[in-house]
Chains A and B, each alone.
Chain A
Amino acid sequence: MQIQFLYFEGCPSHEKGLARLKKVVAAEGINADIEVLEMVSDEQAAQWHFIGSPTILINGEDIIPPPADAAPALTCRVYQLEDGRFNPLPSEDMIRTALQAHRINE
């Protein structure tokens, strides 16, 4: 499984987000390296279709696929949690669900 963690330094929660991702990956018993990539330019954001920090890709797929018209940007990403609240980070359950879905498909 290939896991990538994309972030923008201007958002303060990326370290917390990366720690959360590592925690869930370990809890799921997944043996995979996490590639951490800093987005530093609009061109790079466009190349990765990075719509905000942090963005987590599993095998190249966003764990929460954004709308097709979402514009790449060096900004913070809005996640809507299971209970409807908005948050700068995905919940552990959101990450876990995506990891499990990819594991089933492998």
Chain B
Amino acid sequence: MALALGTSAVSFTLPGIDGSDHTLDDYSDKNAVAVIFSCNHCPYVLAWEDRLIALQNEYADKGVQFIAISANDAEKYPTDSFDNMKKHAAEKGFPFPYLYDESQATAKAYGAERTPEVFLFDADGNLTYHGAPDDNYEDAAAVQAQYFRDALEATLAGNAPATAQTAPVGCTIKWKPA
């Protein structure tokens, strides 16, 4: 079960591809923080990735911080290993931290199920949007509903997004065997 709208972000401390540990508190001065469950291998992530990078670059000056987290079982899906996360982020020039949730505890705490899956929090750390980046993973030019962008605008303005929840669309998170 994913975090409910209005609830507080769940804190975490996770290693990033920059060699540092990142905690949610590191970004407590931001006007909005988006925790995005992601990975390397998923075609939905790859299809949306450039749009998310552009969105982070566009909103960085407005105090918006994205944090991408991969929780996939890298043993079974080696494309998602920590080393490959570093390579992928370097190739794409990620303007946001890319963290490795090896234990998968953070993904479970958020109730994340797919990649990509967006959890947007306001300046007080309360969830204002959960779901997909927009309504068309195939074609950025054909997007009709900019869910995440619209939610960012609303959140920064102190309003509730008109669409606060959509169904995440993407690959299932690759859980480790129980």
Contact = CB atoms under 8 A, between A and B. Distances in A.
A77 B77 contact: no
Chain A interface mostly helix, strand, loop or mixed?
loop
B161 interface: no
Contacts of B46: 78, 86
Measured as residues with beta carbon below 8 angstroms from the partner, the interface class of chain B is: 10 to 19
Interface string A37-61: 0000000000000001000000000
A99 interface: no
Chain B interface mostly helix, strand, loop or mixed?
loop
From B43, B76, B174, name the one whose CB has the most chain A CB atoms within 10 angstroms.
Answer: B43
Interface of B: 41-44, 46-47, 76-77, 137-138, 169-172, 174
Interface of A: 10-12, 52, 73, 75-79, 85-89
Given A75-B174, A88-B137, 10 more contacts: A10-B171, A11-B172, A75-B77, A76-B42, A76-B44, A76-B170, A78-B42, A79-B43, A86-B43, A87-B47
